[in-house]
Structure 1
Amino acid sequence: MRPDWAQKDFYAVLGVKKDASADEIKKAYRRLARENHPDSNPGDTTKHDRFKQVAEAYDVVGDPEKRTKYDELRRMVASGGFGGGFGGGFGGGQGINLEDLLRDRAGGAGGGGGGFGDMFGDLFGGGFGGRRGSARPRAAKGQDVESTATISFTDAIDGVTISLRLTSDTACATCSGTGGKPGTKPHVCAQCEGSGFVTGSMGGGFSLNETCPACGGRQLLYDEACPTCHGSGRGASSRTIQARIPAGVKDGQRIRLRGKGGPGQHGGPAGDLYVTVKVSGHRVFGRSGDNLTLDVPVSFDELALGAEVKIPTLGGSPVTLRVPAGTPNGRTFRVRGKGATKADGTKGDLLATVEVQVPAVLDVDARAAVEAYRIAMADKPLRSNLFDQARS
């Protein structure tokens, strides 16, 4: 985060009060983001800049932890809480280094850390409460990695372990992350004097530590940059991992695998792996939420007279549907516990829908039977009320 944030009123940017609730802040942000989004205002640089300001403000006050630190810093500065009568903003005093003030408040020149230094250290890039030259690179979480996996319908229902080949950001293999050409000796960065940070002005006499732009916080520089990473110290690595896709996963579902992403920096934790699952279709079964669906072909006489119809289940033994006489076409029967696995470990149901199949060709005996049925039903027309209902 940038030091100049301490001088910005993010609440005013969002048009909310300082004590606004999280929901009020979110609603204000969404409204302003819609009004000023670049996609909705092509060529309008004023709205583009406004969109950036709104996004920056929400990034801070929309995060409870950042908001607490932001509020405390502004309260202390506005009330002269750094001592010496600096109330009234950032305008008082000359040559005042905010790092020194925070260190003093945390326990004096020889203090062991904590207090305000710890509170605001991560807000402005670290370095509060420490001595020049003693700063260490901060631990950082590794890169989050995105991947896509296509699995079969059956594997989605039962769960499956798959192999994924991933590419993520890591330390350069040539220079081991130093950024220097192998065989060359490093020297202490002249710009930050080996601290990894430089002092940046906030205006009004205040200053804060920022990551050194010359060494990128690594504290050391090489006369010759690494030919592979060109001095960045970073490279790409490929690896294959085994990922467990849980039973019951849905098509398009995004699975988070903690700690399976890129490696952390300076002792930080590894990033996460996000796998978007694509599920192939099945020739017989479909899916509706946690239930499986099945269309069951039946004959007219089976619905008219009743029947016992054997149907398949996915990966299990067949079951028998007892179809009552007079069952209408399109009725759905529920077979409990034969569906997909739910989040709580229980099973959904199988929904079997009966569909009458009309034969394309009838043999002589079948045709005679159907004609006899037509004659028997001639005095009971199915559409007797259709035209009366249409007229009314």
Structure 2
Amino acid sequence: MKRDYYEILSVTKTATGDEIKKAYRKVAMQFHPDRNPGDKEAEDKFKEAAEAYEVLSDADKRAKYDRYGHQAFGPGMGGGNPFGGGGMDMNDIFSQFGDIFGGGGFSDFFGGGSGRSGQSSGARGSNLRVKIRLNYEEMAAGVTKNIKIKKYVTCAHCHGNGAKDASSIETCKTCHGTGQVRKVQSTFLGQMQTVVACPTCQGQGSTITAKCGHCKGDGRVYDEETVAINIPAGVYEGLQLSMSGKGNAGLRGGPAGDLLIAIEEEAHKELQRDGINVGYDLFISFHDAVFGAQVEVPTIGGRAKIKIPAGTQSGKIFRLKGKGFPDINGYNKGDQLINVNVWTPQHLSPEEKAALESIRESENFKPQPNKNEKSFFDKIKEVFS
């Protein structure tokens, strides 16, 4: 069972961003793999702290966590795994949170104790952005879209290392495989020693003697890839989703960028969206308003029949419970609001005019508003309450 994120970092639920950052730095220092070589328990706590910080340092994710706990990132909640669903990866933690320790990365802070943490895995690939246009049915139920994207993908021949073959990779002679070199500078305070990325291998720890002929040593090629994008139920116009690692592949085995998905809404022919609710303007005849009727109205999922009581006034609003959109951040579901409009004839025959004239002065045809009838503004308040 997962521990509480606030407990992991030893902070309160009212902690500020700076307090959370400071607490994470302290825990990460304590359980960093370079300080605890071969200690699986320390490594697990290091990952646990990184996951807690990733959520609590993000205002939106923190708000979801405060409301729903760990379930906020479970199946069906639209949140997904905080680390993109691919599981915890040490390299991702180092690259994502290295700035917590002053910009030099974890290895610089701890003195470059291990070759693993000192090496760079290559330049990270850039993010990609796509737009996906969805209709009401897809936005309400969720959908999987398979789209083809032109982007940089990992070279299939060298598997991203950029070398012609395995024998074309050798340990860097400058840094001896650590990916780092120590640099001594003279300052007014005396000599200062810093650890920087090896200039020969650019932090890789290895050099290539013969480049891959397919990718020219980049470790990636420009190609087309089909990506399956799972759209959760309840998305809306302007929402941006992200898929970790589905952007451009990185250089020479570097981590891939993310795929950012912007949601666009396809207008419905009859319905109008208002948050998680749906509106529909129903026009009925004078005859149906007087005598009542059963009519069929469109909904997101198809059509539904509703009963119009006798004597229904124009402006009456009927509510179809649960026929709107689901709330992507919760368990609520919107309603469909049906606004009744009594259609007034604009063209009448002489016979029709005579028939109406004969009942013009009838007492039942004179407006007699009920004092208990809700006003227009009361109806609006009721709809949005």
Normalised to the residue count of structure 1, the TM-score between the two structures is 0.56
> Residues of 1 paired with 2:309 and 2:164: CA distance?
79
| Equivalent of residue 129 in structure 2, options 113, 126, 146 | 146
Name 1:196's counterpart in structure 2.
Answer: 179
> Residues of 2 paired with 1:158 and 1:131: CA distance?
51
Deviations 1:29-50 (CA, angstroms, capped at 9, x unpaired): xxxxxxxxxxxxxxxxxxxxxx
Contact 1:199/1:208, CA 8 A, preserved across alignment: yes
SS at match of 1:368: helix
How far residue 146 of structure 1 moved from its aligned partner, in angstroms, is 3.2
Name 1:240's counterpart in structure 2.
Answer: 226
> Residues of 1 paired with 2:131 and 2:19: CA distance?
30
Equivalent residues, number: 286
Worse-superposed segment, 165-174 or 179-188: 179-188
Rate the CA distance shift 1:266–1:376 in 2: closer, same or farther, 3 A.
same
Name 2:382's counterpart in structure 1.
Answer: none
1:292 aligns with 2:292: no
> Residues of 2 paired with 1:342 and 1:310: CA distance?
29
Contact 1:296/1:311, CA 8 A, preserved across alignment: no
> Residues of 2 paired with 1:66 and 1:235: CA distance?
42
Name 2:320's counterpart in structure 1.
Answer: 335
> Residues of 2 paired with 1:142 and 1:66: CA distance?
30
> Residues of 2 paired with 1:206 and 1:276: CA distance?
48
Rate the CA distance shift 1:225–1:317 in 2: closer, same or farther, 3 A.
closer
Amino acid corresponding to residue 335 of structure 1 in structure 2: L
1:157 aligns with 2:140: yes
> Residues of 2 paired with 1:311 and 1:273: CA distance?
42
SS at match of 1:274: strand
| Equivalent of residue 254 in structure 1, options 240, 243, 254 | 240
Name 2:149's counterpart in structure 1.
Answer: 166
> Residues of 1 paired with 2:22 and 2:150: CA distance?
32
Name 2:196's counterpart in structure 1.
Answer: 210
Q: Note the 1:312-327 alignment, pairs <5 A.
A: 312-314=297-299, 315-325=301-311, 327=313
Amino acid corresponding to residue 297 of structure 2 in structure 1: P
How far residue 334 of structure 1 moved from its aligned partner, in angstroms, is 0.9
SS at match of 1:240: strand
| Equivalent of residue 137 in structure 1, options 111, 119, 124 | 119
Name 1:221's counterpart in structure 2.
Answer: 207
What is the identity percentage for the equivalent residue pairs of Structure 1 and Structure 2? 28
| Equivalent of residue 365 in structure 1, options 320, 339, 351 | 351
Contact 2:161/2:252, CA 8 A, preserved across alignment: no
Q: Note the 1:81-160 alignment, pairs <5 A.
A: 122=98, 123=101, 124-125=104-105, 126=107, 128=110, 137=119, 145-160=128-143
> Residues of 2 paired with 1:249 and 1:265: CA distance?
34
Contact 2:244/2:257, CA 8 A, preserved across alignment: yes
How far residue 289 of structure 1 moved from its aligned partner, in angstroms, is 1.8
Rate the CA distance shift 1:136–1:374 in 2: closer, same or farther, 3 A.
same
Contact 1:263/1:271, CA 8 A, preserved across alignment: yes
SS at match of 1:221: strand
How far residue 281 of structure 1 moved from its aligned partner, in angstroms, is 1.0
SS at match of 2:337: strand
SS at match of 2:139: helix
Amino acid corresponding to residue 138 of structure 2 in structure 1: D
Gaps of 5+ in 1: 1-20, 26-60, 73-102, 383-392
Rate the CA distance shift 1:135–1:275 in 2: closer, same or farther, 3 A.
closer
Contact 1:143/1:168, CA 8 A, preserved across alignment: no
